A and B are shown apart, each in its own frame.
Chain A
Amino acid sequence: QKEVEQNSGPLSVPEGAIASLNCTYSDRGSQSFFWYRQYSGKSPELIMSIYSNGDKEDGRFTAQLNKASQYVSLLIRDSQPSDSATYLCAVNSGGYQKVTFGTGTKLQVIP
C-alpha cells in the first residue's frame, strides 16, 4: 500500500464549478497535511496546510481532514482555467521529519 494515494486523473471540470480532489494516507500517526499545486514544468507551490480534523478555508480553497478515515480533500470553488495544474497531496509522518507526496491529480478546468 502506498503511503499517500491520489487518483491521477485527469479531473475535468467546467469553469465556475467546484473541483474536488481527494487523498488517502496510510500512517495513522500523521500530524500535518498539505496540498501543493504544480504547473507543468514548474516546481510545487504550497497552497494549503491543515493540522486538525475539519475544514480550513482560504479564499477559493477549502481543505478537509478526517483523521479517523485517513482522508484529506481539497475543494476549489469557482474553478478558473488558471487552476489547471497537478495537485499534490503531502503528508508529514515520522515525527515531523519529512513529507511524503502522492503522485498528484491533474486538474483541467474547461473554459
Chain B
Amino acid sequence: DTGVSQNPRHKITKRGQNVTFRCDPISEHNRLYWYRQTLGQGPEFLTYFQNEAQLEKSRLLSDRFSAERPKGSFSTLEIQRTEQGDSAMYLCASSLTSQTANYGYTFGSGTRLTVV
C-alpha cells in the first residue's frame, strides 16, 4: 500500500477558473476526509465520506465547492469560480473508523492551490 495519494501536488489558477483535485485513499480504510489548511492554522474540516456516501459537509464549504466519491474509491474535490481566498493547502485523509472507535487519520501530501 502506497498510502494516501493526492494529485496534483501544486495548482496555480486564475481567479474565476474551476479546479479539481483527486485523492486516492488507503484501500482498507472506510472513511475519506477533506480538510483545508492555511498558513499558521490547523487543518479545517470540509467534508467526509463513508464509502460512497457524503455524510457531513462543513458550513465553511460554500456552494462553489463540491466533492464526490464514486463507488467508494477515489474522491474528487472541485472548486468552481475560484477566489483568492481559496488559496490554501487542501488535505485528503483516510481512516479506519467504526461507530465506537477512531484510529486516526493518514494524510496525503496535499494539493497546494494558489489563486492569482
Query: What is the interface of chain A, defined by CB distance below 8 A to chain B?
Result: 4, 8, 31-32, 34, 42-46, 49, 51, 88, 90, 92, 95-104
A–B Cβ pairs within 8 angstroms, 16 of them? A43-B89, A43-B108, A43-B109, A44-B43, A44-B91, A46-B106, A49-B103, A88-B42, A88-B43, A96-B97, A96-B98, A96-B99, A96-B100, A97-B56, A98-B45, A101-B44
For B43, the chain A residues whose CB sits under 8 A away are: 44, 88, 101
Contact indicator A103/B40 (Cβ below 8 Å): yes
Interface residues of B in 83-116 (CB under 8 A from A): 89, 91, 97-110
- Name B44's closest neighbour in chain A (CB-CB): A101
Contact indicator B42/A101 (Cβ below 8 Å): yes
Interface residues of B in 35-54 (CB under 8 A from A): 35, 40-45, 48
For A4, the chain B residues whose CB sits under 8 A away are: 42
Contact indicator A103/B41 (Cβ below 8 Å): yes
Distance, CA A58 to CA B109, complexed state (A) = 25
- Name B35's closest neighbour in chain A (CB-CB): A101
